[in-house]
Amino acid sequence: MFAFILRRLAVAIPTLLLLIVFSFVLMHLAPGGPFTGERALPPQVLANLEAQYGLNDPLWLQIWNYLVSVVIHFDFGPSFVYPDRTVNQLIANGFPVTLTYGGLSFLAAVILGVSLGVVAAIWHNSWVDYLAVGISIGAQVLPNFVMAPLLVLVFTLWYRWLPGGGWSFNDPSFWVMPVIALSTSYMASIARITRSSMLEVLGSNHIRTARAKGMPEHRVIIRHALKPAMLPVISYLGPVFVSMITGSVVIDIYFSTGGIGKAFVDSALNRDYAVMMGVTILVGALTILFNLIVDVLYAWIDPKIRY
């Protein structure tokens, strides 16, 4: 097991390097640059800017310098579009926000989704099932860019319960709407996956055996059905967790949270090379890490899997 983890980590390093090089090249292939604006800059000013940011070096040298700065100094450089801040600062500001509302959304989605799915499976084809399926389909078809402005309308304008946007780590009232808007559709998917997986497990032999032994139903469900039923859910949760904590551009736009999701999309549109690379590496590293965690969890849950 330990050797497996080490092996995977060893593969992760060249993967990340490849990701950096590919993104870097693709980014520079895109038309325009960070300093292309409505008004063309005088050539000398543009030349000064490019010299300052090292953009007039050959591409291979730019990549090399970038790798050296990232790997040796863990310095992602200054932002091209927010010159007062470094990429490290931008990520340090935005990532905790995203991590907070993303993490809470993940918890909400998992707890509610799994409960809903389990309940639906146990009372299969009863009104409980139909209600649970109805809720999850409803949640799935309401996209978050529709739900977000609706939430603001209801909770901010009509009831005046919650602030319409912004962010504070000290005041959970700012977290409520982002969490609802982000978690709903994931909750629905988790509920559906849990339900079908649970149904399959409940029909399997070891459950019949457990019941035949006279085990109380709640122990059958919790001890014997839930664990194997979670396998497909967990493989779904790995990437979902990463995409939730690395932000949702929709949530960031509608609730002005200052999170990393909007920063990522903006950096691509503004050709803010440094921020774009920084967030790409962050998302890439987290994806690799959580895929590994999912694999480890698999082995722990499913005795048939051994690395």
Note the residues at the interface with another protein (CB under 8 A): 30-33, 35-42, 44-45, 48-49, 51-53, 78, 81-86, 90, 93-94, 148-149, 152-153, 156-157, 160, 163-167, 252-254, 256-258, 262-263, 269-271
Minimum CB distance to another protein smaller for 126 or for 168: 168
Report the candidate in 274, 213, 288, 209 with the shortest Cα–Cα distance to residue 246. Answer: 288
Which residues touch 256 (CB under 8 Å, ≥6 apart)? 165, 166, 167
Nearer Cβ to another protein, position 38 or 212? 38
Pick 17 or 51: Cβ nearer another protein? 51
Name the nearest CA neighbour of 114 among 27, 215, 231, 280.
Answer: 231
Total residues belonging to the chain: 307
Least distance CB 48 / another protein (angstroms):
4
Smallest distance, Å, CB 59 to another protein? 18
Pick 237 or 277: Cβ nearer another protein: 277
What six digits make up the tokens of 180? 């609802």
CB of residue 242 to another protein, shortest distance in Å: 22
CA-CA-CA-CA dihedral for 23, 106, 129, 211, to nearest 10:
110
DSSP 20: H
With the CA atoms of 102, 105, 110 and 113 taken in that order, what torsion angle do they form, in degrees rounded to the nearest 10?
-140
Q: Smaller CB distance to another protein: residue 253 or 294?
A: 253
* Closer residue to another protein, CB minimum distance, 181 or 283: 181
Dihedral sign, Cα of residue 125, residue 126, residue 127, residue 131: negative
Q: How far is the CB of 5 from another protein (least distance, A)?
A: 37
Q: State the nearest-atom distance from the C-beta of 137 to another protein, in Å.
A: 27
DSSP 154: I
Q: How far is the CB of 254 from another protein (least distance, A)?
A: 6
